[in-house]
Structure 1
């Protein structure tokens, strides 16, 4: 395809607008908050995901899936500007947001960048059709944000690998199909040099998924126990012991998340459903809308929303034209976490006493206290804001790295705390 063959953005926008309005249902501003932000039954959650798989297939059949993916894998081979135009047009309509992250970013992005041709041909079209939902098996119970200290092991056995270990904080793993899994394949080198990435079926033998109940009753977060899971070497992605090379880009795509050119989400969408529009609803239902102090808080929330949108656009543009390093994505990640936690706090402040005790008849005020209690999840999921600060200081600003006592030691010689089972 030559440059002259690419559909103009205006033409693409008009075609997308007509198709969206003819095929998708309108939704309210807070009807599409992420499953992790809602407490719903398993049946309803499965129905939501089933509908999103259906919509994803509709997008594929209509030529709107994988807008920035190559055509040989079922994509449209268009530009990030086309994806942004589609995101703007789908705002206010149902959209398969639940199966975008981490399926499209970071998982499909990593497959596209590092996968073997057979792996890409096997999985990317299935992802674009909504047939495969992917997770990332990255964090571990013992490692916190230090993903390079992974203890999950992969041992070579002929043409296969045997994987044992545990991963945690995997949102939605109970209803997913596949995962990227970071495992340790070499204990005799420093921790960053002994890792390998595998493609792993989550419904395969030896994989047990345990759901974790949060303070609000939500059970989307999961812990996975991997016991003698056999994975063929053909499902290894990247070089043996070269997993950190893959992992560095993996985490870049994770920080990009809903700003990735590979992801379809309505412009202005909030994963938690807590945005400036909700703040207005909370103030109204709390009887505080005429209060100047309440209006100041609403204005602050809207300011955070506007700044984040402009910041993410600037970062994306800067990385696209090479003016900013890829690691600048951490700037957007940091701002998003801090802004979302603050917005949840504002909603709680606006709710007043009903933020502590409410009934189902309290409208938008109901549940704001629970949001306040879990507000720090915005600074944890998708890579912690503490890690984002490190990336910004070391890889964007060029400041000295933090001292590390394990950087040049074989990982098996690095002191670790006692095992929970010892």
Structure 2
């Protein structure tokens, strides 16, 4: 099965429906069919706010909303019509994002299902794979996760040791993936595995797709210090994947993986993702800082007002930067690796705003009561603030990408670059 990457950017042809016509239609439908969100109902850094049953009920509701959007011809705005999308422009998606702000929306289905997973399928999948999965994704029938990081290779993605061995027409996968948010309620996975140990680490990789709920895939949840159990670790034991579920060429997974990580970093700017306007990576923004200051009784404090102002500036810069990067990449005035700039700013600004909220909360940051309003749980948010610089690709890797692939600085030295991966020293899980 040989596939060539295709351009996933929506066509520049004139849309059937103008942006303003689409906006008006979306606005009418949203207000007639969706519930307003409780202000800051999902604020915080991965807070454990739901029981398992409540979580599953929310997932079911988001699948339902996604199907409602599909039936109303409001889903897959920039996806090709051949796969159930509307084939409209990024401007249409931005208009929809603005109109859905303040209303419930299928948040869990956006990342990584729409980006990077569906984006990778569009770019590298076979026609049969796209016809089988993209419509199901747009209807909310399939929620996808990315099996990428491993216990022994987090930021160094190319060092994966999950193996895939060809047996007849099937591949047999063995290994472990980790830090997969929501794998316990998801359906399919995009999985990076090693198919060749006798070449350098970047050259012996292949990408596969596989259903999560099957024999041989054991999903174990990881409890964080605040009680959140969304992160998962998956153990793959003799998982059989047909060759028809391979993405791209054998041993050429790094070509797919590079674009995979591009789409991951482009989350905020992706034309495939529905995301309310002004959404903050990490769930804390300047508006919430006002609520924290109010409930902490510090709205009149000059330093608190300075912090709120700083938070607002970060919000404005983030939104402007996202637009600039998205426009630049689409017009090819910026290299696609410029997505790392947005990733870096999103992680650092979110960490900063979470730290400011902790500062404003005062002593309540260390001890609070459940009825303390916006200042409750700010302390655990502070302890978990660095997760926004780790999940979705670390900010340290983003710095490397910016320096080497955007600014053209010399590459970082790597002793394993030209060595067969079999001969690269590793930890206790090294392959003999």
TM-score bucket (shorter structure): over 0.9
Alignment of 1:40-189 (within 5 A): 40-189=50-199
Shift of 1:40: 1.6
Shift of 1:28: 2.8
Deviation per CA, 1:55-93, whole angstroms, max 9, x where unpaired?
Answer: 000000000100000001000000001000000010011
- The alignment status of 1:337 with 2:347, answered yes or no, reads yes
Shift of 1:5: 4.9
> Which of these residues, 8, 28, 38, is aligned with residue 18 of structure 2?
8
Match of 1:246 in 2: 256
**What's the RMSD between the two structures over aligned residues?**
1.6
2-structure distance, mates of 1:4, 1:379: 39
- The alignment status of 1:327 with 2:337, answered yes or no, reads yes
Match of 2:238 in 1: 228
Structure 1: stretches of 5+ with no match in the other structure: none
1-structure distance, mates of 2:14, 2:151: 52
1-structure distance, mates of 2:47, 2:79: 29
Deviation per CA, 1:299-343, whole angstroms, max 9, x where unpaired?
Answer: 111111110000000000011111100000000000000000001
1:416–1:12: structure 2 CA closer, same or farther, 3 Å change rule? same
Shift of 1:274: 1.2
Shift of 1:270: 2.7
**Contact 1:34/1:271, CA 8 A, preserved across alignment:** no
**Contact 2:48/2:228, CA 8 A, preserved across alignment:** yes
2-structure distance, mates of 1:236, 1:319: 28
**Contact 1:193/1:244, CA 8 A, preserved across alignment:** yes
Shift of 1:45: 0.6
**Contact 1:379/1:385, CA 8 A, preserved across alignment:** yes
1-structure distance, mates of 2:22, 2:184: 36
Q: How many residues align?
A: 422
1-structure distance, mates of 2:192, 2:335: 25
1-structure distance, mates of 2:106, 2:419: 45
Deviation per CA, 1:122-144, whole angstroms, max 9, x where unpaired?
Answer: 00000000000000000000012
Shift of 1:206: 0.1
- The alignment status of 1:370 with 2:354, answered yes or no, reads no
SS in 1 for 2:75: coil
1-structure distance, mates of 2:124, 2:15: 28
> Which of these residues, 17, 26, 47, is aligned with residue 27 of structure 2?
17
Alignment of 1:223-372 (within 5 A): 223-372=233-382
1-structure distance, mates of 2:358, 2:147: 33
2-structure distance, mates of 1:402, 1:35: 32
Structure 2: stretches of 5+ with no match in the other structure: 1-10
Deviation per CA, 1:34-54, whole angstroms, max 9, x where unpaired?
Answer: 893343210111011100000
1-structure distance, mates of 2:427, 2:332: 43
Alignment of 1:25-36 (within 5 A): 25-33=35-43, 36=46
SS in 2 for 1:19: helix
**Contact 2:162/2:193, CA 8 A, preserved across alignment:** yes
2-structure distance, mates of 1:127, 1:361: 39
1:420–1:193: structure 2 CA closer, same or farther, 3 Å change rule? closer
**Contact 1:344/1:371, CA 8 A, preserved across alignment:** yes
2-structure distance, mates of 1:343, 1:3: 40
Shift of 1:271: 4.7
- The alignment status of 1:391 with 2:406, answered yes or no, reads no
- The alignment status of 1:208 with 2:218, answered yes or no, reads yes
> Which of these residues, 378, 381, 384, is aligned with residue 391 of structure 2?
381
Deviation per CA, 1:212-255, whole angstroms, max 9, x where unpaired?
Answer: 00010000000000000000000000000010000000000000
